[in-house]
Amino acid sequence: MAFWSAENATNAYLRTMRMGIKSGKEPNGAEFISALAAGNNAQFMVVACGGTADSTAVALVAAAQQTGGRIVCIVGGEEELRSSKASLQGSNIEFVTGDANKLLSSSYRESDFIAIDCNLEKHEEIISRLQEKGNSRIVVGYNAFCKESWKKSPLRTQLLPIGEGLLVTRIAAVKKSKSHWVVKVDKCTGEEHVFRVRSSEGRNVIRA
């Protein structure tokens, strides 16, 4: 997600509309999510659904078609898996069953766009753990208004009154500083001085 593409965002938005998601007169969360993912050129998208794959999964399919990215849909069990495959038959989407919290922390930790259904049990814990990771990514919690907890949520997110409510946060990658030791010899006294040179964000910081 190195740049913002208005063209990708617009095309993904229109693709989502053409795929049958009706918004009426109100802003639709799925269309917004699709535009957000595609506009940020997301290459590895994951959606964790509280039940059968929903309109957010469809929206990310549209975004992936625009960016050429990969999309994975996590569902809870075999019943949800069967119904999800039936509803999204023919789409380029990978389905997997299991615990979303564990999968996002292991197999899919490199994903750069994640959508979490707030109907999932412990969705706040999942989002909170994702915020602690060092990868650069966007995390969206959808169906936020379905849970009263959003009113007093400790999550560092921005609540958008779009659709059923979206909790949006952008996580920046943690930059690790590099350092090395330098030995200088005083030509006059012969004394050795040892310094640690730490490089951070293009600057060299010297410490004795």
Q: Indicate the Cα dihedral angle 49, 92, 102, 144, nearest 10°.
A: -30
- Cβ of 51: how many Cβ atoms within 10 Å? 15
Return the higher-pLDDT residue of 132 and 199. Answer: 132
C-alpha torsion sign, points 16, 17, 18, 20: positive
Most confident of 137-146, 165-174, 184-193: 137-146
Does residue 179 register a pLDDT over 70?
no
- Look at residue 142 in the predicted model and tell me its pLDDT: 93
- Residue type at 111? S
Cα distance from N-terminal residue to C-terminal residue, the chain: 38
pLDDT digits (tens, 9 = 90+) for 48-95: 999 999 999 999 999 999 999 999 999 999 999 999 999 888 888 999
User: Is pLDDT larger for residue 112 or for residue 147?
Assistant: 112
Residue 203 has pLDDT above 90, yes or no: no
Which 8-state DSSP code applies to residue 181? Answer: E
* CB 112 within 8 Å of CB 43: yes
Q: What is the pTM of this model?
A: 0.77
| The two three-digit tokens of residue 52, written as one number | 């059968």
Q: What is the pLDDT of residue 205?
A: 41
Considering the chain, what is the average pLDDT of its residues?
Answer: 82
